[in-house]
């Protein structure tokens, strides 16, 4: 079988472009302390996607997260300037009025800060669930017009 020069060059360029796109795609995985739950987060030029797995089974397919602020500003993780930090907590909370005397607060956390834009998202993986929370570094108040959580 014969391949012409233009097809060969196209195949090589296509292969190289795939490597470039793969390098730009960042995926952050966060697993709960007992390994029961896992969150997969992909920020970048296509926006912010997250997925959720329980005992290895897909529960939430990669889905978009975004906040639309009054005035039109969109917080959607559409940035390549990302600072990621991780931490773990394992502490006991003594509640005042609750059905139990103690609450065991144990989780792993991933914080993605979109530094240039001044906002971020905190993801937490517990053994009995997952959570996320948006935050900003602004001093003034914000009004959220809508939230996208597909």
Burial class, 78, CB count within 10 angstroms (exposed 0-12 / middle 13-18 / buried 19+): middle
109 strand-pairing partners: 87, 124
Q: pTM for this structure?
A: 0.79
The string of pLDDT tens digits covering residues 27-50 is 999 999 999 999 999 987 778 999
Q: Residue 11 pLDDT more than 50?
A: no
Segment holding 20, helix H or strand E: helix 5-24
SS3 23: helix
Sheet containing strand 119-126, edge to edge, reads: 82-93, 103-114, 119-126, 129-136
Residue 149: pLDDT band (50, 70, 90) is: confident
């Amino acid at each position: 079988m014969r391949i012409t020069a233009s097809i060969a060059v196209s195949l090589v360029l296509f292969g190289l472009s795939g490597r470039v796109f793969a390098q730009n795609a960042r995926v952050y995985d966060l697993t709960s302390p007992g390994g029961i739950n896992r969150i997969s987060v992909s920020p970048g030029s296509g926006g912010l996607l997250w997925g959720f797995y329980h005992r290895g089974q897909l529960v939430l397919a990669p889905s978009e997260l975004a906040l639309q602020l009054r005035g039109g500003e969109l917080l959607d993780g559409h940035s390549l300037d990302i600072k990621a930090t991780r931490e773990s907590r394992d502490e006991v909370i003594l509640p005042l009025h609750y059905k139990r005397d103690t609450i065991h607060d144990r989780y792993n956390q991933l914080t993605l800060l979109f530094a240039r834009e001044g906002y971020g998202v905190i993801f937490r993986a517990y053994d009995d669930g997952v959570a996320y929370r948006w935050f900003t570094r602004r001093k003034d108040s914000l009004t959220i017009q809508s939230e996208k959580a597909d």
